[in-house]
Amino acid sequence: MDFVLFFLTAAIALAGAIAMLVARNAIHSALFLLLNFGAIAVLFLLLQSPFLFTIQLSIYAGAIMVLFLFVVMLLGAEQVEAAQDKLPWQQPLALVMGAGLLVIAVITAVRGGSNDAPPGGEAAEAFGDPASLGELLFTEYLLPFQITGIILLVAVIGVVVLNQQRTQAQSEETPGERPSSSVQP
């Protein structure tokens, strides 16, 4: 039963991801990504982690998705413009290398026996349970937890600082000037 469910959800997740890449309309891409997020959430559920399921839905499918849609509308970038590719050899090369990486990943997964439990032993009964997560967060992972707060604070500063209006007179160059965008050797 779990196995069938897994394959079904994994297939939906993959289909969503691929459709996101090939969709011409950026809004459609975003919606396919939403499908992908939802499928991933179910995968978390299959891994006995209801908390991650909730987070995946509320943060990724909720908040981050909204952000993506805002960006799309902000730029008015619903339609993909046929831009000229400055480095046309890059795409096939990336495809080949990505395929190579995939092969390596599959071999690692198959030969590495990634179905085995890590050497620490089988996961505890309450593993992934929100309450035991809370316990871990406040005992073993107390420091990482606090640092996360500080990282989020820095993120807030970043949002505010980089969005502050600055008058053109203060800037060093006129914005019309385009910098060289290619990587020079």
Partner 1 sequence: MDSIQIPPIDFRLIAPLLVVTTWAMVLLLVDVFAIPANRKKLTGYLAIAGLVVAGLVAIPLWDVSGSTFSNMVVLDRYSLILTWIFLIIGALTITMALDYLPRHGIEQGEFYPLIMFAVAGMILMAQGTDLIVLFLGVELLSITLYILTGFAYPRLTSEEAAMKYLVLGAFAAGFFIYGIALTYGAVGTTNLALIAERLADPAAETNQLLLLAGASLILITFAFKVALVPFHMWTPDVYEGSPTPVAAFMSVGTKGASFAALLRILVTALPALEPFWLPVLGMLAALTMIIGNLGALSQTNVKRMLAYSSVGHAGYILLSIMVVSERGAQAFLFYTLAYTLTNLGAFAVVIALEQRSNATWSLDDFTGLYKRQPLLALAMAVFMFSLAGVPPTAGFMAKFYVFTTAYEGGLGWLVLIGVLTSALAVFFYLRVVIRMFMHEPQGELEPTLDRGLSADIAIAGGLTLLFGIVPAPIIFLVERSLVAAGG
Partner 2 sequence: MLGSFLPILVLFLIAAFIAVFVITVSSLLGPRKSTPRKLAPYESGMEPIGAAIRRIPVKFYVVAMLFIVFDIEVIFFYPYALVFRELGVPGLMAMGFFFLVLVVGFVYEWKKGALKWD
What is the contact surface with partner 2 in residues (CB under 8 A)?
2, 5, 45-46, 48, 50-51, 54-55, 58-59, 62-64, 66-67, 70-71, 73-76, 78, 130-131, 133-135, 137-138, 142, 145-146, 148-150, 152-153, 155-157, 159-160, 163-164
User: CB under 5 to 8 A by kind: which of partner 1, partner 2, none does 70 bind?
Assistant: partner 2
Tokens at residue 89, please? 């050899």
How wide is the angle at C-alpha 69 spanned by C-alphas 65 and 75, nearest 5°? 145
Rounded Cα distance between 39 and 9, Å, is: 5
According to the binding rule CB under 8 A, does residue 155 interact with partner 1? yes
| Residues 21-50, interacting with partner 1 (CB under 8 A) | none
Rounded Cα distance between 48 and 128, Å, is: 6
Among 76, 88, 92, 120, binds partner 1 (CB under 8 A): 120
Residue with tokens 């897994």: 6
Q: Which is nearer to partner 2, 20 or 41 (CB)?
A: 41
The DSSP string of 66-134 is: HHHHHHHHHHT--BPP-PPPS-TTHHHHHHHHHHHHHHHHHHHHHHTTTTSPPTT-SPPTTTT-HHHHH
Rounded Cα distance between 168 and 172, Å, is: 8
User: CB under 5 to 8 A by kind: which of partner 1, partner 2, none does 119 bind?
Assistant: partner 1
Q: How far is the CB of 12 from partner 2 (least distance, A)?
A: 13
Chain residues in the site for partner 1 (CB under 8 A): 104, 108, 111-114, 116-121, 131, 135, 138-144, 147-148, 150-151, 153-155, 157-158, 160-162, 164, 166, 168-173, 175, 177-179, 181, 183-185
